[in-house]
């Protein structure tokens, strides 16, 4: 492997024949003279030098192993519609392991290289963006891991479609899919059956915004959400909105009435013209506030607090497939 010059005529320093070797080789060549013996000696020296460089190729650049590959396009979530609701999800990433060793986090769809062959235990975990933040990729704790023994072959790609369920000890505190006329949110949200406003099924929720801001909350009070132990509590929700939409909790001590009532908003969702799913983790808010009761809270506003793309002339906030999930004690 002889050195070559780059486009700007500079000498490379990161190839096989690096800068010091280049200088040595030049000096060998410069020592060539018209004297035959001297020339022969120099040519012999140059030849030995070049042979040394070529023989060291395998030491400097040893032959690399050829990986095998698994391809993961998406996860398939299986649910019981009666107890677990919709199987729609927004799994963005796959966290991959082979024989318990981490391979990395890969955005879907992904082709994952593995430096192993033969029967290997492959573990795949579903990754989401916590609170809708691209900068917060996490393993979703309420989805099962997928595990399969796969016969890996060097240089070959094997396609895997992980099929997963909710973990067995998931507790669904609240579900609302707007498929019936009986709603679990207060009257400021209406059920719509217009096909252009529905994510799936035959209904969706539409927040009526008739002032600068409208707050709605769940008609159910949750009294057993964990406030200690660092346990996650997630709200899954599909939404489409032309306004800013804040999502959080209303906390209060049940025996104290409204005297000790607080609205705690976790995220602000910006307008989006396509249906999107968000996974909101209330673990931190529950640990800090320590109320005895909570309700879900949504505040739709015609005020622009930073999103920059609200449409107050056509206010529309649509919700579907709400699930509040915690672990069973």
User: Do 42 and 94 belong to one domain?
Assistant: no
Neighbouring C-beta atoms of residue 225, cutoff 10 Å: 20
Q: Are residues 80 and 144 in the same domain?
A: yes
CATH number at residue 144: 2.60.40
As for how many domains the chain has, the answer is: 3
Query: How is residue 84 written in tokens?
Result: 């677990």
Tell which of 37, 62, 87 closes a domain. 62
CA nearest to 244, candidates 215, 211, 268: 268
What is the rounded distance in angstroms from the CA atom of residue 139 to the CA atom of residue 131? 13
Residues forming a β-bridge with 297? 217, 248
Kindly state whether residues 175 and 320 are assigned to the same domain: yes
Residue 180: give its domain's CATH number: 2.60.120.200
Nearest to 196 by CA among 321, 318, 322: 318
Domain of residue 37 covers: 1-62
What is the model's pLDDT at position 163?
Answer: 98
Residue ranges in the chain whose pLDDT is less than 50: 1-25, 28-29, 32-34
Gap between the Cα atoms of 105 and 94, Å rounded: 6
Q: What is the pLDDT of residue 168?
A: 96
Do 225 and 294 belong to one domain? yes
- 256 and 201 in a single domain? The answer is yes
Total Cβ atoms within 10 A of residue 297: 19
- Please check whether residues 237 and 98 belong to one and the same domain: no
Structure tokens at 55: 């023989």
Cα 195 from chain centroid (whole Å):
30
Burial class (CB in 10 A: 0-12, 13-18, 19+), 120: middle
pLDDT of residue 45: 55
Q: Which residues contact 324 (CB under 8 A, 6 or more apart)?
A: 172, 173, 174, 175, 222, 233, 234, 235, 296
Query: What integer pLDDT is reported at residue 306 of this predicted model?
Result: 82
Model confidence pTM above 0.85: no
Residue 218: its pLDDT value, please?
Answer: 82
pLDDT reported for residue 167: 98
Identify whether residues 139 and 13 lie together within a single domain: no
How much of the chain is in helix, strand and coil states, percent to nearest 5?
15, 40, 45
Same domain, 76 and 220: no
Query: 144 and 44 in one domain?
Result: no
Final residue in a domain of this structure, among 17, 40, 62:
62
User: 181 with 146, same domain?
Assistant: no
What pLDDT is stored for residue 5 in this prediction? 36
Please write the tens of the pLDDT for every residue from 82-127: 999 999 999 999 999 999 999 999 999 999 999 999 999 999 999 9
Which of 165, 193, 216 lies at the terminal end of a domain, its last residue? 165
Of 163, 170, 140, the closest CA to residue 77 belongs to 163
Whether residues 74 and 193 fall in one domain: no
The answer to whether residues 147 and 175 belong to one domain is no
């Amino acid at each position: 492997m002889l050195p070559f010059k780059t486009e700007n005529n500079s000498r490379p320093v990161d190839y096989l024949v690096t800068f010091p070797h280049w200088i040595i080789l030049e000096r060998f060549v410069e020592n060539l003279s018209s004297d035959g013996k001297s020339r022969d000696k120099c040519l012999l020296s140059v030849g030995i030098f070049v042979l040394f460089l070529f023989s060291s190729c395998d030491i400097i650049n040893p032959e690399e192993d050829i990986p095998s590959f698994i391809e993961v396009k998406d996860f398939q979530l299986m649910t019981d519609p009666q107890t677990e609701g919709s199987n729609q999800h927004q799994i963005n990433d796959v966290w991959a392991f082979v024989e318990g060793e981490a391979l990395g986090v890969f955005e879907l769809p992904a082709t994952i290289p593995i430096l192993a062959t033969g029967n290997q235990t492959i573990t795949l975990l579903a990754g989401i963006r916590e609170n809708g933040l691209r900068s917060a990729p996490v393993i979703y704790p309420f989805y099962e891991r997928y595990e399969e023994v796969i016969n890996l072959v060097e240089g070959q790609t094997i396609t895997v479609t992980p099929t997963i369920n909710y973990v067995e000890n998931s507790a669904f505190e609240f579900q609302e899919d707007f498929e019936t006329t009986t709603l679990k949110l207060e009257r400021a949200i209406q059920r719509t059956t217009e096909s252009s406003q529905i994510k799936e099924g035959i209904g969706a929720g539409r927040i009526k915004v008739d002032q600068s801001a409208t707050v709605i909350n769940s008609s159910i009070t949750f009294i057993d959400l964990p406030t200690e132990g660092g346990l996650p509590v997630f709200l899954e929700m599909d939404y489409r909105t032309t306004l800013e939409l804040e999502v959080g909790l209303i906390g209060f001590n049940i025996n104290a009435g409204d005297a000790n009532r607080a609205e705690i908003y976790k995220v602000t969702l910006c307008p989006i013209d396509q249906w999107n799913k968000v996974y909101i983790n209330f673990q931190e808010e529950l640990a800090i506030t320590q109320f005895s009761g909570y309700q879900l809270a949504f505040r739709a506003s015609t005020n622009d607090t930073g999103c920059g793309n609200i449409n107050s002339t056509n206010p529309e906030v649509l919700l579907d497939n709400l699930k509040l999930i915690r672990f069973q004690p």
